[in-house]
Amino acid sequence: MTSRVPGLDQCPAPAGEEVAPDLTENPLMKEEQKKKRLLAEKRRNRRALLQALVAAIVGPGLLIWLVLSVPQLGSPKDMVKTQIVHGRSIKPPAGSGQTPALTNMSTDVVASGGRDYSSVSFDQLASFPFVVTPDIADATADSHRASVRTREQLPGAIKLLNDHRVAIAGFMLPVEVWSGVTSNFLLLRNQTACCYGIAPRVNEWVVVHTTGKGVKPVMDVPVTALGTLHVGDVREEGQLLGIYELDCDQLLTKQ
């Protein structure tokens, strides 16, 4: 057992040395530390609340801004507007003044309903540049000039497809849906407009019209439209909708 020398705890400190006060047992100091902890906690809570309020305010605002800033690409007129260029001259494609010939066109034939349809791909339909100028996009001022300026950009091989029965594979983008079916839709080269809001080039879609009651919309799956293709400016009240239009006889979906 360790013996304790009486009065040892009360021994004065050696000369020249300061004894640090024991603050752990000081009630005033405990209260001060408690207040500091509470103040720090309140500051953290206020910071978290402010961050939550900012997120609540900015989040929906950011979402609204994104919705409003991304072009709504369901309408072909809207897609055409995104491609209008100003002050750019139009050069007819090489050989456009010569007798057209079907070059590099597929010879594959799709037989359906007792009819043969020539297989045409978007690689062929979109194989040339097309410049959309303001007077081409809006032909209300001079429809004849707009039509001429549209057709002069089309290669001869493309013009030769006019009024031919063709089969074109692509992705459907319904323009109108009534009672679960659509009779007017766009056939797109890819899904950039559907998924990412990126407008395709004007020669990368076909304006499709079906007969009868219409067809059920088919999204995110490639389809093949069979029908009669019309090449040239497709318009509605003078506004350009595209340069390809298809009177659809049948729509085939990938099994």
CA 190/CA 205 separation, integer angstroms? 9
How confident is the model over 113-159, as pLDDT tens digits? 899 999 999 999 999 999 999 999 999 999 999 999 999 999 999 99
**239-253 vs 223-236, strand pairing mode:** antiparallel
For 203, phi and psi rounded to 5 degrees? Answer: -95, 15
Q: How confident is the model at residue 4 (pLDDT cuts 50, 70, 90)?
A: low
Half-sphere exposure (Cβ direction) of 227: Cα atoms closer than 13 Å? 22
pLDDT at res. 243: 98
The b/e string for 9-25 (b: 16+ C-beta within 10 A; e otherwise) is: eeeeeeeeeeeeeeeee
How confident is the model over 162-184, as pLDDT tens digits? 999 999 999 999 988 888 899 99
CATH class of 76-91+106-253: mainly beta
Q: Name the DSSP class of 166.
A: E
Q: How confident is the model at residue 96 (pLDDT cuts 50, 70, 90)?
A: very low
Q: In the chain, where are the structural domains located?
A: 24-69, 76-91+106-253
**205-210 vs 239-253, strand pairing mode:** parallel
Q: How confident is the model at residue 238 (pLDDT cuts 50, 70, 90)?
A: very high
**pTM attached to this predicted model:** 0.66
